[in-house]
Structure formats: structure tokens, C-alpha cells
Structure 1
């Protein structure tokens, strides 16, 4: 990772995270929100309690809420573990830091609960008892505070550990994403898509798809288009597929010639190729189509028929799904080179 300060938006897909966040909040009965390193919310608040919703929507009180989130997150960073504390309204929250290369980029904030016992032993990160407005607001809405879920300390700690594990997972995925894109950029060839000639527009899903496709192409190209299976039990099945490019060979047929069940064969093929055989089969068809597009002047319809597609339109959709180009544009790109 580089030395710049990362924003939380660079670390994870916030739209996908919010779906996970909603599920976690519903399952744990904790209110959950994601904040950046300044303590400012970057997601919607899941399962927010009515009192906290009132406070966070108030222009003066929301500043104190963000300050509590910021202090809670920084204390979690300092201690190196989830930090459970009381906010300025004496409500229990916790902060689970998200760290990238020892840099604090944000935190999972969870809580809005009361403890069944010994709540006063928790540190209060922001004390505003001397502010009359804060006290009067709390008194006015005391009934809402009384409705907060109550946890035992043990249950709260278990939830904190779970969220910490999720934070670790977020970090590991962010590191893998950053490494993958950097590695891809270092070996980036002329893009198949005009818009991807700008490396800043690279999408992780596109990178992963392109790398997987390139690995298969490389393996086939290095062996003159003949695939030698790592698991020799699979060789008869793979040979049958290669010998029948013009038709679709069913998994049950492959199972018969290898003398194993279809479910067992499916597992072996996934171990061989790293992904379901249905996906690899589609990529093989596209690989063969690419060869025909490059070495013949056959029409798109003729290539579609030669590879056993039901109709040309389905062939075109399948080809574009994997290569990001239509067969015709792929041929034009190759001819230009």
C-alpha cells in the first residue's frame, strides 16, 4: 500500500458493506455505523435507536456524537483492541478500528445499548454533565433511553470479538485488492476496452476476470492448445471436450468416461481449474472463438455454428461477457495490431 492517507471508501465497497451491516445489526440488536478516521459517518446508521437518532439529527448534539465516535476509535487504535465505553449521554458504545499498514482509516462503531450491571465502570469518553442543554435533552427523552436493549458484559464482549474479526477480514481483502490491481498494472497490456486504457478506471472485477482468462489462454498457448490435466483421472474427460468443440458435452457424459459420479467429477474439475467447470467451459469456447477470429475470415455466424452455440446472438453475449468485447470488435482490435 502507498504512504498516503487512505479514505475508508478506498478500503471497501460501501454499498456492499451496508448490506452486511444491516444484517449484522439485525442479528446482534446492536446499532452499527461505519465512520472515517475523523469520526464522521460514511454509511447509513443500521438499527439506530430513536434517542440516538434524535441526537444525531440535532445540529448541536450531532457534533458531540461524532466527537465520541472519533475518541472511541482513536482509543481503540491506541489499545489495539475493541474499545467499549460510555458516550456523553451515558449510553454504551464500542469502536473496532480498521487499520491498513498501521494507519487508522476508520472504525466500525456499534452499541447504543445499556449494560445489565457495572456500566459505570466503563470510561466515559466525553463528559458534558455540566451543559444544561444536554441534561435537559436527556431528561426530555428519558423514556426512549429506557427502551434501549440491555446486554450482559459477556455478550457484549463476544460481539466485540466478532466485529473485530470482521474488521480483520476487511483489511485482508483491501490488501489483496490493492496488491492485485498493482500487479495487474505492472503487466498491463494494451486494453481490450478503450476506456480501460486509463489505469485509474480499472475495476477489481474486470482485473480478476481478465487475469483468470489470461491464465487459461497462457496454459493453452504454451501447449499448442492441448490441455494436460494435473489430475490424470480427468484427462479422458478433457480430451472429449476438446475433440467436440462443435457441440456441448454434458457433465454426465464426462462422468461416464471417467467412471465417477457427476458430483465427484464436478469437485475434481473445480480443483483442477480453480472455479466451476461451467465457467471454464465457457472460457474454452471463447478461447477457441478468439483463435478462429484471428486466423480465419469466417463470419460471426459461421464461428458460432462451428462452436455449437444455439444462435449467434447467444454467442456474442457469451463472448462479450468474458472478453468485454463483441467478437467483431475483438477481430478489429487484433487486425489493428
Structure 2
């Protein structure tokens, strides 16, 4: 037991040093929490708003939940992924892994951002009804999307210098996901975590504008490096894969819906029906109309 406590103390000391350097360099708030979301360190550069929120019991429990869920989401997605907490501020978490054991997470952020790409990780709480909390919200610092993503990369790079996130830990995290939670079984067959994250992002955004630049930003890789890795792993280029996924989903809609071919094409990002039909035929050998006719849906 004494040995375990000594190891935990050493880990906390290193984590404290990381957070101190990170906060001094960036001015961004952070804290260390354990695998249950419980605070294990002092509050580094916390905003007045977040200090108040964590002093109110009803909100403090939600803060802990967001810290925990945000950390687990980082492990599941195998990369730092900023999110909105229950109060609407943007945070991100980096796992602390030592000797293939997860000890907790460094959670950073407390940033205000109007960018809609940051999604809520928990249901929003009505904190605006608390006048004490509301008066401090205006002092929360505003950040742009690019600044937040850069900050997350800095903390991730600094932390992994001391606590490498091992392949075994990645596999354990993937295997630990509840049965039925993984909507894309093919992810288990992809070796590189960067490409797993790329595929997961593509699958979840088939109706959005997808480009090499946008996806590279999401997975923290250069466009040329992502393109090279993707081709090596998937044996096709990125746009071919995106079209393949879109056609597969379009097939499902054509089999079960009476929506027009034009509407279905637009649903999956094709703004010209002729181009949608061309891509669909490349992958299936027939037009959407011919495909639908086999299922008697007109």
C-alpha cells in the first residue's frame, strides 16, 4: 500500500509540474481529476465563474461529470477532442497513463466560444438562473476555434512526453466500450489510431461539407500526411472512401424511403443530382432510380 501511495504521489508531482508549465505559458485554466472525476490537485488559473460554479453543490457534481465524461471521450476517440461542458464553456481532457494504468485526466479550458463545432458533452444546466454565477460569466475569456485546438495540442504534446498513451491502453479503452456502443465495427480492424479517428469523423459527418483540409484539422495532422496514411491504411484515397460511405448510406435510404433521388443526394452532400447519380453508379453499377426500382419504391 505504501508503495502504491508513493507512486501516486510521484505521478501527482509530475502532473502538477506539467500543469504549472502549461498554465504559465498559456494562461489557460486546468485541473487534475481521478478516474471518477474527483479533483486531485489545486485549481490552476481557474476563472471566477468556474470557481463559483464548483462552489454550488448542484453544479459541482455536473462539473465532475463533465470532467470524467470528457476524459473518457478522449480515450474512446483516441485523441484530444474539445467539448462544451454543462455550462456551455469549452474544455478538453488529456489522460494520465502510467505503466498501462489510467490514473486520471488533466482537464483544461474554461473558454467561451461561439463556434458551433464544439458540442455539449452533458445536458446544459440552468446556471443563468443563479445571479451569483451570472455576474461572473462576462469575465470568462473568449477564444477562437483555432486557438482552442492549438491549446489542446500543446497540452496533449506536453503530457505525452511524460505519460505516453500506450497501444495496449488504447486497445483496452476500445475493448472497454459497452457492447452496441460502437456503431462502426470496421474501426476495430484499423491499426492506426489517427485513421480510426478519421473514419469515425467521416461516418458521423456524411451530410456535411467534407474535405481533406477540414478532416486534417479535426485529427491534428497535416493534409499531406493524412492523405498518405489514409491511402496506406485503407487502400483508397480519402475522397473515394467518403463517396463509398455516402453511397452505402444512400442505398439504405433508397430501400426504405420515398424521398426523391434529388433530396437523398442533397442529404449526403451532393448538390447536383447528376453528380450523385454518377458517383452512385460508380460504386453500385446502376443508377439510384434503377436501384430503387428493385425494391418497388417509387
- TM-score, normalised via structure 2 length: 0.49
- TM-score, normalised via structure 1 length: 0.44
| Higher RCO (C-alpha 8 Å, min separation 6) | 2
